[in-house]
Amino acid sequence: MNPIGLISMQYARPFTAEHFPLFEKMREHGFDFVELLVPEVGELDIRETKKALDDAGLGVVLAARVNLQRNLASADAEAHRAGIEYLKYTVDCAAGLGAKIVGGPLTGNPLVFAGRPPQPVEETERLPARIAASGA
């Protein structure tokens, strides 16, 4: 049987420690895992979050939150470096939570509406070669 999950944004954004009791409700409703957004620094304590997930018997996958300021595809050196650092942070969060899957727009070019106007970029900013050269 395939595991079934849902994204925490169905309940709250940002999803913080005050929402941990919802993990038990998710499990009671038959979900096997929750997709959490990779927390911004200070948003969630990874150890406390892992404990709350384990206590509820709920697995976890992560969704990255890249943006144009932390963007592997960027020609801007600072944004490119920030994209690499963010993905390193993402891996650390995944390891701490026991997440085996990290998804999301990992390149940093969020071109879909997400509750704010999209910030489209030129085609040259979506170069897979630049992303691959990052070693990410």
Mean pLDDT score across all residues of the chain: 86
Answer yes or no: are the C-beta atoms of 136 and 117 closer than 8 Å.
no
For 108-130, give one letter per residue: b (16+ CB within 10 A) or e.
bbbeeeeeeeeeebeeebeeeeb
Report the share of the chain in percent with pLDDT over 70.
79
Radius of gyration over every alpha carbon of the chain, rounded to an integer in angstroms: 16
pLDDT band of residue 127 (cuts 50, 70, 90) is low
Residue 55 token pair: 């206590």
Classify 18 as helix, strand or coil: helix
Tens of pLDDT, residues 47-91: 999 999 999 999 999 999 888 888 888 889 999 999 999 999 999
Query: Which structural domain range is residue 49 located in?
Result: 5-133
Residue 112: its pLDDT value, please? 44
Q: What is the pTM of this model?
A: 0.79
Query: What does the pLDDT average to over 17-38?
Result: 96
CATH number at residue 81: 3.20.20.150
Q: Count how many domains the chain has.
A: 1
Helix ranges restricted to H, 29-76: 46-56
Identity of the amino acid at 109: N
- Which residues lie below 8 Å from residue 83, measured CB to CB, with a gap of 6+? 66, 70, 71, 72, 73, 74, 107, 108, 134, 136
pLDDT band of residue 125 (cuts 50, 70, 90) is low
Q: What is the pLDDT of residue 133?
A: 65
